[in-house]
C-alpha cells in the first residue's frame, strides 16, 4: 500500500512491508519502487522493507528544477524520520546508490550497511556531462523517444531484445514522469559529487554488485572503486539492469544477504 510523507510542500511516496531490521530499497533513474517487486518477498519475513520513490519518480512529486543527490537523500531522511527509524541498510540501484552514498555522508550515524547495485562513487566525466546536457535537450523535444532509447541502452548489447516485456514495463513507468522531473534529475546526476571517500570511510558492510557487461559503469572502473574503498565486489554476467538480465543470480545474492543477517 502506497503512503505519503510531506517534504517541502510535496508528497514523497513510500511503502513498508515486514518487521525487523530495516532495509531501504532505492531505485535508479527512470525507475520506481516497482523494480523491487521480486526482491521484497526475500526479505519481508526477516526484515522491515521500506521502498521510496525518489524525487520526480513513481508516485513522488517533482521538486524544482534540480533533483540533487543531496536533496533526494534528505527526502529519504524525511521518510525515515516520519517512521521513527534510526538505522538502516541500503539496497540501492544505480542512481539510488548515489543517493544512499550522499545520505551516508549527510547522516553517517543512520547507515548500517551499503549494498550498491550497478552503482559507483565516481562523478560524471566531462564527456558524460556533455551527454547529459544533450539528453536534457532531447527530453524537452521528445520525452517518449528519450525514454525508449535510454532504457534500452541500459541493457547489455546481446540482451536488449531478450527482455521486451520488462523493457516495455520500465518504459511505461518512465513515461509517466514529467519533462521537468526527468530534466531536473539529469541535472542532479550531472552535478553529483565524488563519494569515494564516503565509501572508503564507511565502517559497515559494503558490497558492490555490478554487471560484467554494464554499458554505463565499465567493469574496470568499478573494480578500481572496490579496491579504493575496501568494498566486496560481486560481478554478475550481463548489463546495468542486473535485477532483470541476471535475475536468478541476483535473487540468489539477495538471499545470501538475508542469510548473513539472520
pLDDT number for residue 1: 73
Give the C-alpha distances (Å, rounded to integers) separating 204 from 68, 89, 124, 220.
Answer: 25, 9, 26, 24
CATH of the domain at 216: 3.40.50.1820
Average pLDDT, the chain: 95
Instruction: Report yes or no: 53 and 194 within 8 Å, Cβ to Cβ.
Output: no
pLDDT, one tens digit per residue, over 51-89 is 999 999 999 999 999 999 999 999 999 999 999 999 999
- Grid cell 527530453 is found at 139
Is residue 96 scored above 60 in pLDDT? Answer: yes
Residue range 9-23: average pLDDT? 96
pLDDT number for residue 157: 83
Count of the separate structural domains present in the chain = 1
User: Band of the pLDDT at 261, cuts 50, 70, 90?
Assistant: low
Residue range 216-230: average pLDDT? 97
pLDDT, one tens digit per residue, over 145-164 is 999 999 999 998 888 888 99
Q: Give me the DSSP letters along 24-60.
A: EEE--TT--GGGGTTTHHHHTTTEEEEEEPPTTSTTP
Is residue 260 scored above 70 in pLDDT? Answer: no
Residue range 167-188: average pLDDT? 97
Question: What is the three-class DSSP state of 79?
Answer: helix
- Grid cell 564516503 is found at 198
C-alpha span between 6 and 126 (Å, rounded): 36
Reading the block at residue 106, the C-alpha cell is 549527510
Is residue 170 scored above 70 in pLDDT? Answer: yes
pLDDT number for residue 158: 82
99 is in which domain, residue-wise? 2-260
Amino acid at each position: 500500500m502506497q503512503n505519503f510523507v510531506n517534504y517541502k510542500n510535496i508528497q514523497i511516496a513510500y511503502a513498508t512491508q515486514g518487521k525487523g531490521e530495516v532495509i531501504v530499497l532505492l531505485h535508479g533513474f527512470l525507475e520506481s519502487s516497482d523494480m523491487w517487486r521480486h526482491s521484497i518477498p526475500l526479505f519481508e519475513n526477516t526484515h522491515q522493507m521500506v521502498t521510496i520513490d525518489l524525487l520526480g519518480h513513481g508516485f513522488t512529486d517533482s521538486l524544482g528544477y534540480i533533483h540533487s543527490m543531496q536533496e533526494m537523500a534528505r527526502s529519504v531522511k524525511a521518510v525515515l524520520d516520519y517512521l521513527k527509524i534510526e538505522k538502516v541498510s541500503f539496497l540501492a540501484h544505480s542512481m539510488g546508490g548515489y543517493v544512499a552514498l550522499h545520505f551516508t555522508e549527510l547522516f553517517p550515524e543512520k547507515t548500517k550497511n551499503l549494498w550498491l547495485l550497478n552503482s559507483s562513487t565516481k562523478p560524471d566525466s566531462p564527456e558524460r556531462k556533455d551527454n547529459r546536457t544533450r539528453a536534457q535537450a532531447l527530453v524537452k523535444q521528445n520525452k517518449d523517444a528519450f525514454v525508449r532509447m535510454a532504457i534500452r541502452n541500459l541493457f547489455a548489447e546481446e540482451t536488449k531484445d531478450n527482455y521486451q516485456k520488462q523493457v516495455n514495463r520500465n518504459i511505461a513507468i518512465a513515461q509517466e514522469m514529467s519533462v521537468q522531473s526527468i530534466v531536473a534529475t539529469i541535472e542532479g546526476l550531472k552535478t553529483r559529487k565524488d563519494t569515494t571517500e564516503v565509501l572508503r570511510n564507511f565502517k559497515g558492510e559494503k558490497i558492490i554488485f555490478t554487471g560484467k557487461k554494464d554499458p554505463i559503469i565499465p567493469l574496470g572502473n568499478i573494480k578500481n572503486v572496490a579496491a579504493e574503498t575496501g568494498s566486496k565486489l560481486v560481478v554478475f554476467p550481463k548489463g546495468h539492469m542486473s535485477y532483470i538480465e541476471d535475475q536468478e543470480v541476483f535473487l540468489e545474492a539477495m538471499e545470501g544477504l538475508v542469510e548473513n543477517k539472520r
